[in-house]
């Protein structure tokens, strides 16, 4: 798991908590995944590699692109939820 125990704080062990932590990490690393996808795609396209290496680089680029897009989606979702909570708080406390 991505959470470390601290003194006096129990580690949540629910599936919801694990899924939330995974989504937060994907959101944090979205830009890195996109950079890795670009580098892998560039290497596969321009360099003189053997055929299996080019296929692996292209597959890595495709997977990294998917993770990067999923991370961007999660970033937007987290931002939207944060804005919604702030708007709701301001309506509750005029």
Q: How far is CA 27 from CA 39, 45, 49, 61, 71, in A?
A: 20, 28, 32, 18, 4
Q: Give residue 12's pLDDT.
A: 60
As averages over each run of 10 residues, the pLDDT of the chain (94 residues) reads 50 68 86 95 89 93 95 84 68 63
DSSP 47: S
Q: Give residue 30's pLDDT.
A: 92
Q: Give residue 31's pLDDT.
A: 93
Asked if 26 and 71 touch (Cβ cutoff 8 Å), the reply is: yes
Q: Give residue 1's pLDDT.
A: 44
């Amino acid at each position: 798991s991505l959470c470390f125990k601290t003194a006096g704080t129990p580690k949540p062990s629910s599936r919801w908590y694990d899924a939330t932590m995974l989504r937060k990490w994907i959101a944090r690393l979205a830009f890195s995944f996109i950079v890795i996808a670009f580098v892998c795609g560039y290497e596969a396209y321009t360099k003189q590699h053997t055929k299996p290496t080019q296929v692996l680089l292209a597959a890595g680029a495709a997977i990294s692109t998917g993770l990067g897009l999923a991370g961007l989606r999660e970033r937007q979702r987290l931002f939207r939820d944060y804005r919604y909570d702030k708007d709701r708080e301001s309506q509750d406390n005029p």
